[in-house]
Amino acid sequence: MFWKRTIPSIIVAAVGVIMLLSWFIPHAPFDELEIHATQWYDIIASFAMILGALNLLKLQGRKVVKRQKGWAYSLAAVLAFFMTLTFGFMVKGGFYPNLESLGDNPEAVYAYIAEATDNDLENTISLYGSPGENGEQIILHKAVVSKKAALKAIDELEALGATVSLGELQWGSHVQGQKTYYRWVFYTFFTPLSATMFALLAFFVASASYRAFKIRNAEATVLLVSGILIMLGRVPLGAYLTAWTQKISWLSWLHLPTIQEWLYQYPNAAGARAIMIGIGLGIVGTSLRVILGIEKSFMGGD
């Protein structure tokens, strides 16, 4: 109990008070405490990821082994995990032919490079016309450039008289570099899947709005009217429909963009700020309870 509850409580209280006060003290060592604490946190969180990954594999693996409901999805998760791990740490791709000199038949070399890089001849000449001291990288038009593909291109270029060496991205830079397996996985699988999930939001907003705007009581009616005014006021149609009010001075306030701006800036801002003040106080209160050790349940205490 002492090691699992008391010591962590003391650490939380001490660190909480020091971090709180350090915000008011610009003097060393307090001025850099936040930076150090953030770095410590990042390091601990990075190592903790291993626990998460193991837990994921254990649970999803068990589902596959026991053929539980939806085991195929778990299999996809496990395979994707190992595939990404492999491309992150073991197989990287990212090879490229490095053009050092064009040789005696530059036209043929240009033509080959233009085709291999899916570039037009004019651009190719401007890009590869005078290779520098370190040569010029030829980025082949492939999703991933393996060592084999790069060597094949080198052989073909050398057959045309060019001097070409093999280049490759370093480990680490392959995560963001071009023509690597990791990048291929990221942009071919992960990004479209994430975008799909995000795109679902549009449909969910529509269904949620429909439910919210159903007139059930006075509050819902106010919400509906405000929502319609805001929506109309924010599109050109709203301004167009009420443009006539601008010609009659005492009706000018009926212009929909004016009404929506007022709704947005005043009643909406007032409500949002009230909630923000409550949240701010709640955060202070919760932090204080944690620092004082009154609230310990997140550490497994009562």
Partner 1 sequence: MIAKRTVCMLILLLGLTSFAFADLAISAKVESSAQDGNKVNIVITPTETSSIYILQTSAESGEWITFRETRDLVFSRNIDNDISTQFKVIALDENRTVVGEALSERITTKAKWFNMNRLNRFIGLLIICGVILYYIGRARKNKKIYLRPVAGLQAFEEAVGRATEMGRSVLFVPGIMDLDQVETISGLIILGHVAKMTARYEAELNVPVSRSLVMESGRETVRASYISEGRPDLFSADMVHYYTDDQFAFAAAVDGIMLREKPAAVFLQGKFYAESLIMAETGNSIGAIQIAGTGSPSQIPFFVTACDYTLIGEEFFAASAYLGDDPKLLGSIKGQDIVKAILMACLGLGVILQTVFSGIYNSDGFYPKIKSLGENPTAVYSIIAEVSSIPLEKVQYIYSNIDDKLGKNIDIQGKNSRFNAEKVIRKLERNGATVDLYDNTKLENKDNKWDFFKNLFAGS
Q: Does 1 bind partner 1 (CB under 8 A)?
A: no
Phi, psi (5° rounding) for residue 193? -65, -40
| The two structure tokens encoding residue 246 | 């601008």
> Which range binds partner 1 by CB under 8 A, 46-54, 82-90, 95-103, 129-137?
46-54
Q: Which of 2, 3, 67, 70 touches partner 1 by CB under 8 A?
A: 70
Measured CA to CA, the distance from residue 131 to residue 126 in angstroms comes to 10
# residues near partner 1 by CB under 8 A: 78
Residue closest to 93 by CA, chosen among 174, 177, 180? 180
> Which range binds partner 1 by CB under 8 A, 50-58, 133-141, 156-164, 230-238?
50-58
Residue 216: CB minimum distance to partner 1, A: 13
Residue among 101 and 209 whose Cβ is closer to partner 1: 209
By the 8 A CB rule, do 159 and 129 touch? no
Residue among 73 and 89 whose Cβ is closer to partner 1: 73
By the 8 A CB rule, do 259 and 229 touch? yes
> Which range binds partner 1 by CB under 8 A, 92-100, 165-173, 175-183, 293-301?
293-301
Kindly write out the interface string for residues 77-106 of this chain, putting x where it contacts partner 1 by CB under 8 A and - elsewhere: ------------------------------
Residue 161: CB minimum distance to partner 1, A: 49
Going by C-beta distance under 8 Å and a sequence separation of 6 or more, which residues neighbour residue 8? 299
DSSP string, 190-222: IHHHHHHHHHHHHHHHHHHHHHHTS--SHHHHH
Q: Does 299 bind partner 1 (CB under 8 A)?
A: yes
Measured CA to CA, the distance from residue 198 to residue 64 in angstroms comes to 28
Beta partners for residue 166, in sequence order: 97
Q: Does 187 bind partner 1 (CB under 8 A)?
A: no
Residue closest to 108 by CA, chosen among 121, 98, 92, 126? 121
Query: Alpha carbon 278 to chain centroid distance?
Result: 30
Phi, psi (5° rounding) for residue 242? -110, 20
Residue among 56 and 125 whose Cβ is closer to partner 1: 56
Measured CA to CA, the distance from residue 180 to residue 195 in angstroms comes to 21
Q: Does 6 bind partner 1 (CB under 8 A)?
A: no
Kindly write out the interface string for residues 110-129 of this chain, putting x where it contacts partner 1 by CB under 8 A and - elsewhere: --------------------
Residue among 2 and 198 whose Cβ is closer to partner 1: 198
> Which range binds partner 1 by CB under 8 A, 89-97, 164-172, 178-186, 250-258?
250-258
Residue 273: CB minimum distance to partner 1, A: 9
Beta partners for residue 165, in sequence order: 98
Q: Does 73 bind partner 1 (CB under 8 A)?
A: yes
Residues 197-236 that bind partner 1 (CB under 8 A): 197-198, 200-201, 204-205, 207-209, 211-212
Measured CA to CA, the distance from residue 12 to residue 33 in angstroms comes to 15
